[in-house]
Chain A
Amino acid sequence: MNYPDKNGKFGPYGGRFVPETIIPALDELAEAYASSKKDAKFHAELSSLLENYAGRPTPLYFAKNLSNKHRAKIYLKREDLLHTGAHKINNCLGQALIAKKMGKRRIIAETGAGQHGVASATVAALLGMECVVYMGTTDMERQAPNVLRMRLLGAEVRPVKTGTMTLKDAINEAIRDWITNIKTTHYLIGSAVGPHPYPVMVRDFQSVIGIETKKQIRKSEGRMPDYVLACVGGGSNSIGMFYPLLNEKSVRLIGVEAGGRGIGTKLHAATLSKGAPGVLHGSYSYLLQDKDGQVINTHSVSAGLDYPGVGPEHSYLKDTKRVKYATVTDDEALTAFGELTRTEGIIPALESSHAIAYIGKIAPKCGKNTVIIVCLSGRGDKDIAIINEKLKIEN
């Protein structure tokens, strides 16, 4: 792929739309990232941490019961088994090593589901850095276990009470902090969003998912899969899974967005399916907005998908039609959550449950030899309170 270009453009998308104060720091980061990419020592250090600390490679698990149920061959890429419980740690380890190299002792992060906040707090503890995490108060409530985890790890969790009090507003606050403390601080963005070089850097750190998956499926099936599914919030687990597969033309890649109460209602977070290009959080990409360019409030049962923007590379992949973007409602995701839990004994994150739910939509078109891989981006321990409330679980 010969994108992004030197300005961080994926076709028309991406770029840098941030206040001038930040631009020199982005240049510095781009430079540090470029030199790290060529640095064997950096790669060795990162690989060692990914393997010994985070637990890579993660299994590509053949889900037999689920396969029997849907009459297809279903594999799960088990990012949920990573240390801290989601794919977010892949990116956090990479960025934290770069921050260290740049001499930044303080990291800030935003978080929705709390998984990125926990992963950031974790690497900060590991590398002896100060860590501040911004989190909307709505999300602090619905993902309370992760708030406690971050605090135990020594991070300061700053509640964000502006706007919708969710991920979007947490990013606003993190950017404001960064503008203020630009000299000492690295902003550890948790998804493939933001100004250049973040989208490409985060994608590269998450690509380990797709690279491993390719090797693993070749080994178990002797061929590439027919379908690959991943949920799309900002788009980091999905781009990490998809990017290494883009050149495998026979593989159908499907990104699953949060359909909330249905994309016919106003209560969803289906940015690529229902949005139009615009600028939010430093890059040009699809955006849920009104006719005056004001960003629209989103809804999803899943805090990690409840975001009106999306990474710019996804916008490009949508326009070029290499990836198909679809939606799954809250209820469908909750059903899939229950299904995976009881058929395979795996409790998925509500985010990942959206990708799982989409199996049901393609299975009728599949034969028993159709190979479907789903990125199980995280585990669902953080969600059990919501699930309990929504599903009124009975024994």
Chain B
Amino acid sequence: MNFIDYFKKLKERREKALIPYFTALYPSKASFEKLAITAAESGADIIEIGLPFSDPLADGPVIQHSSQTALKNGFTIAKMFRSIAGLRVKTEIPFIIMTYLNPVLRYGANIFFTQCRKNGVNGMIIPDMIPEEDGPIRKEADKAGVAMIYLVAPTTPEKRMRLIASRTTGFIYAVSVTGVTGQRENIPAYLPAMVKKIRMVTDKPVCIGFGISTPEQAKAAVKYADGVIMGSAVVKITNPVVLKKFIKQVKSGIRITGSTQRYS
């Protein structure tokens, strides 16, 4: 699948992408699957699936906890792919895996991306892999047709923004805070300027993540971007009924407002 076209279609419908994050097989295999399907059916546009790693150094307490719990419950990469295969039959929503580099390397990049292709994973985010170090991974991802999504941080200078944007085959993940994942009181004041800078170097879609936890924050954040990723706030919700309400609420707040109202 092509993320650039996918975002173009969303734009034509005057929509912005809502990308909730779920830790794979957390709190259990059945709950994870139920939650992911619920999100897909309630208005999410892309599902981000976190593959737990023992040492998640870009993550705050909530995702650390969910990862540790999943690992304690016997998580394996093979089990995750089986679960994703089951989800793929039920929904066409794009899936993105977020994990750290070591599990992919150890599993074998070739086998890992082959499994992605076979089980319907469309994109990949590896926060501890910068473009300069992506050689072996990138080759396999390209071969399997899995999009690579790279992060831009508030500290990233323009020159690196260009490099990152040029390497991205999915969308650009704009990290909204200098910090780890987790909830924040406010979205930072520099965010609009940061996204504007990214827009100046690329036409590729830009989504904002890290620290976006309320419908209001999501609404404010997507004003300048094409979508929003919500991690810790979503991982905390383990009740499908609550999740459904939350996803609907966020999604309804992030439409492009203006004269042409397509939905009622």
Residues of chain A touching chain B, judged by Cβ–Cβ distance below 8 Å, are 7, 15-25, 162-163, 168-169, 172, 175-176, 179-183, 276, 278-282, 287, 289, 291-295
Contact residues in A for B60 (Cβ distance below 8 Å): 176
Q: Name the contact of A292 in the complex, choosing from B77, B129, B175 (C-beta under 8 A).
A: B77
Q: Name the contact of B153 in the complex, choosing from A21, A169, A176, A287 (C-beta under 8 A).
A: A21
Chain A binder among B37-45, B89-97, B98-106: B98-106
How does the 8 Å CB contact mask read for B173-197 relative to A, with 1 for contact and 0 for none? 0010011100000000000000000
Q: How far is the CA of A169 from the CA of B55 in the complex (A)?
A: 8
Q: Are B154 and A292 in contact (CB under 8 A)?
A: no
Q: Are B102 and A289 in contact (CB under 8 A)?
A: yes
- Judge whether B128 is part of the interface by a CB distance below 8 angstroms: yes
- Judge whether B2 is part of the interface by a CB distance below 8 angstroms: no
Q: Are B102 and A24 in contact (CB under 8 A)?
A: no
Q: Name the contact of B132 in the complex, choosing from A16, A21, A24, A162 (C-beta under 8 A).
A: A16
- Judge whether B76 is part of the interface by a CB distance below 8 angstroms: yes
Beta-carbon nearest neighbor of B156 in chain A: A20
Contact residues in B for A20 (Cβ distance below 8 Å): 127, 130, 150-153, 155-156, 160, 164, 175
- A21 CB, nearest partner CB in chain B, Å: 4
Q: Are B53 and A279 in contact (CB under 8 A)?
A: no
- B171 CB, nearest partner CB in chain A, Å: 15
- A211 CB, nearest partner CB in chain B, Å: 32
Beta-carbon nearest neighbor of B164 in chain A: A20
- Judge whether B157 is part of the interface by a CB distance below 8 angstroms: yes
Q: Name the contact of A291 in the complex, choosing from B104, B106, B154 (C-beta under 8 A).
A: B106
Q: How far is the CA of A22 from the CA of B77 in the complex (A)?
A: 28
- Judge whether B12 is part of the interface by a CB distance below 8 angstroms: no
- Judge whether B10 is part of the interface by a CB distance below 8 angstroms: no
Q: Name the contact of A293 in the complex, choosing from B64, B102, B128, B178 (C-beta under 8 A).
A: B102
Q: Are A17 and B101 in contact (CB under 8 A)?
A: yes
Q: How far is the CA of A172 from the CA of B56 in the complex (A)?
A: 8
CB contacts under 8 Å to A, within B114-154, are 127-130, 132-133, 150-154
Beta-carbon nearest neighbor of A295 in chain B: B54
Q: Are B179 and A279 in contact (CB under 8 A)?
A: no
Q: Are A287 and B102 in contact (CB under 8 A)?
A: yes
Contact residues in A for B54 (Cβ distance below 8 Å): 163, 294-295
- Judge whether B57 is part of the interface by a CB distance below 8 angstroms: yes
